[in-house]
Structure 1
């Protein structure tokens, strides 16, 4: 409902109706709508962090492999747990200060993983540029895929990750383009 209607337009009654329960039942689990928003963002961010850490543990130590692993993990989590990430991306600003303070460590931990991988790629000469800008451009490109990517199309998250790395690294080989449909 937060994805479809936005946080501000979603009521507790709408959430309860969507779940097939009475609106008062939600308050046995959550204090208010703000706490529901924080729970959605926390779960999505925690899942993204876990998947990214696993991806880094499973890949070899080369900067290119680690960059690819992070891009693939980000896309997998973004596209398989789409709603939680769309909510985090678009509704973070709606969190009250208490919830934001509670969740900022997860966001920072995730961004720190990216910064380390980008630093490695910069230090190895795999990519060039300002770390801040590179990380923002990469994350922006990855995050925007929720708006245009068709999970039923011919390209999988692995293909998208490979294409992104090919675009930002001159030595990477682009994935074979079989279709213009994404």
Structure 2
């Protein structure tokens, strides 16, 4: 029998990662549509057309799934904010915020981003909530830092950086609550229009 018929350890690892992501995505959609408490692991298994015991090959519990879904949403935001914060060159604070806010708007239309906004970490045990909220705080500090940069370089009119960061994050997060994947507006259109409303109101 040809050795090529046997999967390598790397192939098995990659296959397991893909299946685990499929479990997490199916759960994120279910949590967003039905709520965390209204979703069972049977519901997740039904969406994937597998048995409930199969789900346990990839996750430990429903809490574990939610924690990972929220973490993945936050890590997307964290990576985007870190990349924009690290940019140098001639870009103004407002230019960099525009890039970040546009990416934020895209993220909250995706499976893990929507779960982050619609469900969040509140149903989780205290230790998990604390860890995820620490990550949230880091993202918020980057938002405020970019606002302060924009005020300093004159691209953003003088304002309270904390208030502006919260207001913008609130407006962008709300997209997850009304976005319809089957609706007439694409994520690109939503991101562009929503961010333009915010930017036009704060431009220096």
Q: Provide TM-score, normalisation by structure 1.
A: 0.80
Which one of the candidate residues 115, 129, 134 is aligned to 1:100? Answer: 129
User: Which residue is 2:63 aligned to?
Assistant: 34
Verify: 1:90 aligned to 2:90, yes or no.
no
Cα distance, 1:10 vs. partner? Answer: 0.4
Does the 8 A contact of 1:55 with 1:73 survive in 2?
Answer: no
In 1: Cα distance, 2:64 partner to 2:180 partner? 31
Compare 148-157 and 135-144 and name the one that shifted more.
148-157
Verify: 1:49 aligned to 2:78, yes or no.
yes
Deviations 1:17-59 (A, max 9, x none): 1122211222222221000000111111112222333345387
Tell me: CA distance 1:47–1:130, structure 2 relative to 1, closer, same or farther (3 Å). Answer: same
Deviations 1:73-131 (A, max 9, x none): 2112222x1x3222212322112112113323322221121111112123334233222
Does the 8 A contact of 2:71 with 2:132 survive in 1?
Answer: yes
In 2: Cα distance, 1:150 partner to 1:18 partner? 19
Aligned residues: 168
User: What residue ranges of structure 2 are gaps of 5+ in the alignment?
Assistant: 1-29
SS at match of 1:28: coil
Aligned-residue RMSD, C-alpha: 2.3
The structure having more radius of gyration, on CA atoms, is: 2
Cα distance, 1:60 vs. partner? Answer: 4.2
SS at match of 1:30: coil
In 1: Cα distance, 2:146 partner to 2:134 partner? 18
In 1: Cα distance, 2:97 partner to 2:151 partner? 11
1:5-154 to 2 correspondences below 5 Å: 5-56=34-85, 57=87, 60-79=90-109, 81=110, 83-91=111-119, 92-125=121-154, 126-149=156-179, 152-153=184-185
User: Which residue is 1:166 aligned to?
Assistant: 200
